[in-house]
Structure 1
Amino acid sequence: MIERARNFLWHNARTLEQRWFEHAFDGGSAQAVVRAVLAYRNDDGGYGYGLEPDHRGPTSQPLHALRALQLFGEAEAPEQAESVLTWLNATCPDGSVPFGLSTSQGHPMAPWITADDQGGLLITSQIAAALHALGVDDPWLDRATDYCWHHVDQLAQTHPYELRGAAMFLDEVPDRARAELVAEKLGHLKPSTEGYAEGEGLEPHQYAQKPTSLARAWFSDEELEKDLDALERGQQEDGGWNFNFPAFTPITHFEWRSIATVDALLTLRRYGRIS
């Protein structure tokens, strides 16, 4: 399985995902991952240039900052969060992060990205989770954490991606007792997929991204094992995995497939399906 995925990535992936795979499975250096991410950094400390495939163009955007932080987590490079925090303090000083900033208007982006400068739980929760996972201590993160707690506590109607963001936040936030109580409540929510493409949605392993995830309790053993079986069978003939949302422009097809491939392998390894 890993060999077939390796062949797919050498054929189709960006240098970034190739370096990520090498570090995760072939003993490649963490610093090589960091260098690949830094190629997307702007002078303002943020990230652009399609680091997150659905938001093209050069301007620093929240989706790119999130992806950078997540990859720094994979590389165990918490020091790299400093420039992102500088950018977040300048652009989102109240601790609430928009899906997209109006500075990206005029550049290509997926039609589901709203570049309206309006903060929300969707991205704030994931950025806060990534910073907590890196062990960061910063006043901006304190504000973002307070924002997430306020909105997660009140969450009554949601969609799959927002619920996943909340689950990611609860997995990493330091107040574990509070996180467990809120996770139990969120497990009863039924996220709406209204407006989604046919077949688009999230599977159990995408909420419970590791066996210790609080969202693991949302699913029975049978449900999770069935989901992991399907993930394992999802490897395509060319060695890569697919993703279940539209590719808004052709170049993103293989960019997202490469990300999905490494994500699938890491998930299967975390759950003991591969070594």
Structure 2
Amino acid sequence: MKTDAEVQREHFNLISSKYLNSRKNENHLAYKEVWWDKILEFLLLNYNFDENCDSLEAMCGLAEGSNLLKKAYPKLKLNAFDYSDEMVLAAQKENNGNIRIFQADIINFSEKEKYDIIIILGGLHHVPNFVDKVLSNIHQALKKDGIFINLEPTHNNFLFRFIREYVYKENSLFEENTERGFRLEEYNQKLLKAGFGIKKQFFPGLLGYVLYYNPDAFPFLNIGTSRMAKIFSKIDWFLGKTFIGRKFSFATWSISYKK
């Protein structure tokens, strides 16, 4: 019988081409550009990473997070891995040796106090039955006071949970039996249980997120121009600082640290 990890690897190998193409959509990229500007601005105000620092992007896809961190911290040493064979090959081709990219399974990943930054962009919901072990692995791999940057699908009300579960069931790009989003409270409790302190959280996964962040989840909503996508992204960030964001966001950015 296949493990959940094997099911996920086979699924991503199967849909990798469609997934990668959707992530090159102009509206999607424009929407995320605003997000990353905000995240990098926060990091630069609070952290100084130099040539003695190492980063790791787990469940990396195309290693997008590593490339963006490099823009803010050009001397940072970059490492990344994914469990999908096809994703590893695509990431290696995309990055031309600028990042050390290798294949590994986050559930069995084991390195000790090696990295100053670990980043996962939308990965924990692919291993919901093993998330405690995965967070423990990440905590172990970080140096003391190292930071964990994570973007994760979350929900804080019943309706949004229902919508997400419906999409996972009906859209072939998702593997409904081995994926699920987290309640915000559940997600935060798991971070704390693993030994993390939460430095900062952002809740910008609102209307623009629905329209543009997952063009493969809601393709019929991906309308308008890249300029419009940026405007919606800025509105999401503004509202994400209020109770509206915390209550209705489809996603949470967390910057946590190893205690």
Of structures 1 and 2, the one scoring higher in RCO (CA 8 A, sep 6+) is 2
Normalising by structure 2, we get a TM-score of: 0.30
> Higher helix fraction: Structure 1 or Structure 2?
1
